[in-house]
Structure 1
């Protein structure tokens, strides 16, 4: 039987950007992800050139760590470059595939090393939540903490949610983080980061997620990482009685990546913007958390 490696994506409930600057963040595994199967050749149908090149680079790095395999076939459900941890998911899925018979700590060490090489300056949040496949409370300088309670404790299970692909961002995450970092002397930027960090604390205290999302979204707008079209879309969601936020780095141009919307019915609004649902509507507690 061919070796197989599987890795989920991730959803950040709270903490984008702020986590890079030492504030807490909550991330949870997504129910979609990547699957790597050992094969004779490198195969990833319809992958953009830069992602296929990244796959080849990961395989080469695995070989430097002792893998004798040179072929992997990728099956992917994640939007690429849209804030759901696709690059980290790819690293972990391929490493798990090519080192399937190795001890888990050894596999994790290799995957972490490759992640450091491919995504320098990353916070570590994506890697931890995708590796453990558990909800994580993450803060730089402290060990990641699994949230060993159901997310139902702080999410009203009457809410509905959907993940919406609004299109590929115009910039990469490292570019955006560098841009935000360069503006840290602006009091409005530092205040927005503090607000985002406080949103994480509010969720953990059990405050209503729709109220928290509205504050979180406005702080992301102040950072300048929510394109105008996405601002308009989220305003329409709020007008309908819901709330929404970008769950990744966002963008200053192009699409905003993936938006997590909490509302009773988003189909008509999503259609009017020509965006794409990644999931049909579900109750939050069925997808976003496990006890």
Structure 2
């Protein structure tokens, strides 16, 4: 994309983990998809002097961003170094519909959109590998030891099958169904959820590892159901996965209430997504009408926001 009226834009999508969260840490597979219903757009505009930022968390000099935006500062610095440009004479505006700290890849999406915007602004080519390299440096700041999944999801257009330490494997989203995503309005508590599983692993190692392995098996079965266009089976696997995650201490009362509300209103299956103990949940519907019914019920149950997304072969085109 070239600059328009001396401005340049970069965009990125959110991401949803369909199956395998937490179990992936123990070597089990996971499934994730890009989620273009929630997006981030970074706009670069020429200005004079130090770089400024305008976003929901900060309005002012880039060098004065709060700690939670340190990854943004890093990605701008390393991008400009790659571009051989100076840290001055433009402003950044970041518009986001991806809620932060909900497991939807917001930090990676900010980095992806910003890198794209900067390369567009300076009219230089950006390869996908270079984009991922720059974004992953930013993700180290945000998350410490990222898998690279968020960067791949928020910058790509293909669902991915992932096993820790192995290459990402794209697969076709061949299931005809609708996905309802609901935001609890509560920040995910990944660290606490991870701690719960670790504690159970010490107290009941054999049973807990069996539950983790079952989550991996369900992820594999879900992939097959997607590829064979079996939404009823996919919904069943999703619900089974939620029950296991709840047993492992990853869910909470509000997530369980939303899952129950979705199932009571026609969902084929429903589960938490992401780190758990807050964040988001997802539900599978066989039609747009049912998806809307589920969305309405979830809003009545108290969710802060919902999205409805049609799955299928053309989902990511």
TM-score of Structure 1 vs Structure 2, range by shorter chain: 0.7 to 0.9
Q: Which runs of 4+ in 1 moved over 4 A?
A: 48-54, 63-67
Residue 299 (structure 2) aligns with: 271
Please say if 1:35 is aligned against 2:41.
yes
Counterpart CA distance in 1 for 2:216 and 2:260 is 22
Is the contact between residue 189 and residue 222 of structure 1 (CA under 8 Å) also seen in structure 2?
Answer: no
* Alpha-carbon distance in structure 1 between the residues aligned to 2:155 and 2:149: 10
Deviation of 1:19 after TM superposition, in Å, equals 1.5
Taking structure 2 as the reference length, what is the TM-score of the superposition?
Answer: 0.78
**In 1, distance between residues paired with 2:34 and 2:263?**
25
Change (3 A) 1:54 1:117: closer
Q: 235, 242, 265: which one pairs with 1:240? A: 265
- Give 1:67 deviation, angstroms: 4.7
Change (3 A) 1:170 1:29: closer
Deviation at 1:11, TM superposition (A): 1.0
After superposition, give the CA deviation of every residue in 1:211-243 in whole Å (9 maximum; x if it has no partner).
011101111102212111221221232233322
Counterpart of 1:22 (choices 2, 24, 27) is 27
Question: What is the rounded CA distance, in whole Å, between the counterparts of 1:282 and 1:38 in structure 2?
Answer: 30
| TM alignment of 1:163-202, pairs within 5 A | 163-169=181-187, 171=189, 173-174=190-191, 176-177=193-194, 179-181=196-198, 183-185=200-202, 186-187=204-205, 188-202=207-221
The answer on 1:78 being equivalent to 2:98 is: yes
Mean CA deviation greater in 266-275 or 26-35: 266-275
Report deviation, 1:8. Answer: 1.0
23-32 vs 58-67, greater mean Cα deviation = 58-67
Q: CA deviation at 1:257?
A: 1.1
Is the 8 Å Cα contact of residues 161 and 262 (structure 1) preserved in structure 2?
yes
Matched, 1:212 2:255: no
Specify the SS of the correspondent of 1:269.
Answer: helix
1:16–1:249 CA contact under 8 A, matched in 2? yes
Q: Which residue number corresponds to residue 259 of structure 1?
A: 281
Can you give the 5+ residue segments of structure 2 that lack an aligned partner in the other structure? 59-65
Name the CA shift for 1:114/1:161 in 2 (closer, same or farther; >3 Å). Answer: closer
2:312 to 279, 285, 288: 285
Q: When the two structures are aligned, how many residues end up with a matched partner?
A: 278
- 2:166 is aligned to 142
Aligned to 1:130: 154
Cα offset for 1:189? 3.0
Q: CA deviation at 1:286?
A: 7.4
Determine the structure 2 residue equivalent to 1:12.
Answer: 17
Q: Counterpart in 2 of 1:114?
A: 138
* Deviation at residue 55 of structure 1 after TM alignment: 2.8
Deviations 1:12-52 (A, max 9, x none): 11111111221111111101221111134433343376544
Q: What secondary structure is seen at the aligned counterpart in 1 of 2:53?
A: coil
1:90 alignment partner in structure 2 = 110
TM-score, length of structure 1 as denominator length:
0.84
Q: How far off is 1:110 after superposition?
A: 1.9
After TM superposition, give the deviation of residue 63 of structure 1 in Å. 4.6
